[in-house]
Amino acid sequence: MDENPYRSSLADGSNPPQPKSRVRSVAFMLLLALGIIGLAICFLLPAVRTARPAAYRNHCVNNLKQIALALKSYSDTYHALPPTYTVDADGKPLHSWRTLILPYLEQPRLYESIDLTKAWDDPANAEALKARPFVFQCPSAIDQENHTTYLAVLTPSSCFRPTEPRTLSDITDGTRETMMLIEVDSDHAVPWMAPMDADEALYAS
């Protein structure tokens, strides 16, 4: 045979592969891959930004549904909606309806830890105030510690009465036609245990 198949490629004068060219090739491929990933992120970011507010909105709507179901369960038990807030012997507001429906939001232990004979901001209820139930939080609102943006509508023709319960049969316009709860912006958020809701003072602000 004229040609030895086992002869080194160097024997015929050919040059060996250059390590630098391989490094450059690998570096180029890495840069190309990073560029593609960067472009993909740029295309996906608008979709993520659009999807996040929609997810937050769905979460808040679900919270309102859970609160409404809890109010319905409270009404089934006591045959009336809770008062907007409770009062002491002197008529001083003590606790919000949000506190009263805790057992129907799967929060019986939190409810039992609250001293209903003392005001919501009394030191005896300080620990309970810190444990804001998740259902009272809307992720789309600017976070304010121990605050909620879910308020009861408190007007002469609304579902709630300030200090007394109201039966569903008293709502002559029908429950589907009468506003019970609203979600306000962060500027109008209130401490979740506080006897504060959407009354005329809120509408005027």
Residue 5 carries which side chain, given as an amino acid letter?
P
What domain range includes position 181?
Answer: 55-204
Q: Does any domain span residue 131?
A: yes
Q: How far is CA 21 from CA 14, 24, 25, in A?
A: 16, 5, 6
Q: Does any domain span residue 6?
A: no
Low-confidence ranges of the chain (pLDDT < 50): 4-11, 47-51
pLDDT for 30 equals 58
Q: Does any domain span residue 18?
A: no
pLDDT for 10 equals 45
Q: Does any domain span residue 31?
A: no
pLDDT for 49 equals 46
Angle at 57 (CA atoms; ends 54, 59), nearest 5 degrees: 110
Residue 180 and residue 117: Cα distance in Å, rounded?
26
Residue 118 and residue 87: Cα distance in Å, rounded?
9
Q: Does any domain span residue 44?
A: no
pLDDT for 47 equals 46
pLDDT for 153 equals 85
Q: Does any domain span residue 12?
A: no
Neighbours of 146 (CB within 10 A): 17
pLDDT for 162 equals 81
pLDDT for 51 equals 47
pTM of the model: 0.68
Q: Does any domain span residue 45?
A: no
Q: Does any domain span residue 19?
A: no
Instruction: Enumerate residues 6+ apart whose C-beta is below 8 A from 63.
Output: 135, 136, 137, 138, 150
Total tally of structural domains belonging to the chain: 1
